[in-house]
């Protein structure tokens, strides 16, 4: 295995109490980490933060077409956890597209792995 890279983003609405998150396996870090609507200055944009493990869930389920159970196994998490991650990712992406927000990809709880 490797060392799990955990990048936390400060969220004033969560108090980080409870069970610690299990490290998720991802294939690699994205080369492109920012998407924005064309023609809108950066200073006028709101951002949506998509974590790297959320991006990996989109890659496995939507891009590669894997069933949730198979994708969850590749990421080293339960199917239920995978379902929550991908639902969150889809909501953030749709929020960015529908409301004209920038999508920034960063953070999360992941470990780079060649097992995927």
Alpha helices in 37-78 (DSSP H): 52-58, 68-75
| Integer Cα distance of 39 and 77 in angstroms | 39
Q: Output the pTM of the full model.
A: 0.81
Residue for token digits 């950066």?
A: 42
- 8-26 pLDDT tens trace: 444 544 555 677 777 888 9
Instruction: Convert the pLDDT of each residue in 62-99 to its tens digit.
Output: 999 999 999 999 999 999 999 999 999 999 999 999 99
- Which residue ranges form the domains of the chain, and what is each CATH number? 21-112 (1.10.10)
The side-by-side arrangement of strands in the sheet containing 102-105 is: 34-35, 102-105, 47-50
DSSP tag of 31: S
């Amino acid at each position: 295995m490797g060392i799990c890279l955990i990048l936390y983003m400060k969220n004033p609405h969560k108090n980080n109490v409870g069970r610690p998150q299990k490290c998720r396996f991802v294939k690699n870090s994205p080369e492109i980490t920012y998407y924005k609507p064309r023609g809108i200055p950066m200073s006028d944009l709101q951002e949506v933060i998509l974590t790297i493990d959320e991006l990996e869930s989109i890659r496995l389920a939507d891009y590669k077409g894997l069933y949730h159970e198979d994708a969850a196994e590749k990421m080293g998490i339960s199917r239920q956890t995978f379902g929550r991650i991908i639902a969150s990712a889809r909501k953030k992406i749709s929020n960015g597209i529908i409301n004209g927000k920038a999508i920034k990809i960063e953070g999360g709880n992941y470990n780079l792995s060649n097992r995927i």
